Amino acid sequence: QVELVESGGGSVQPGGSLRLSCAASEYANNIHCMAWFRQPPGKDREGVAAISLAGGATHYDDSVKGRFTISQLSGKNTVSLQMNNLKPEDTAVYYCVAGPHSACLLSVGGSWYPRRFNYWGQGTQVTVSS
């Protein structure tokens, strides 16, 4: 059973930066898309960023464009999420997720379908507060 292991969460002041990392415990040939979701306190989970492992194409939610960068570590099922200029509204539990190619496809509304992702990490807390 593939596990996704996240690291890098923590607390930071507004305007600060954090880098999250996620690695699959073993190689899985059904992982072609990796992404990050988050769940703010009292709110539904939402997709933040995704990357296609085949071609490296990325996509971001409008709320993080220009501030967050998702990257793949070459040759491995490992991704990172560099988060700059963090805001209090970025406070959430962040989840690394992975799935087939179809998981990277956006809905008409411009978001991802959580159910398309087969694997979910345990989550890591990110808190942005002064």
What would the pLDDT profile of 1-49 be if each residue is shown by its tens digit?
Answer: 889 999 999 999 999 999 999 998 887 888 999 999 999 999 999 999 9
Determine the pLDDT at residue 110. Answer: 80
Determine the pLDDT at residue 75. Answer: 61
Tokens 């539904």, residue located: 44
Our CA dihedral for 63, 58, 91, 122, rounded to 10 degrees, sits at 150
* Residues found in the chain: 130
Determine the pLDDT at residue 107. Answer: 81
Give first-to-last CA distance, the chain, whole Å: 40
Query: Could you tell me what percent of the chain has a pLDDT over 70?
Result: 98
Question: What would the mean pLDDT of 48-55 be, rounded to a whole number?
Answer: 93
Question: What would the mean pLDDT of 53-82 be, rounded to a whole number?
Answer: 91
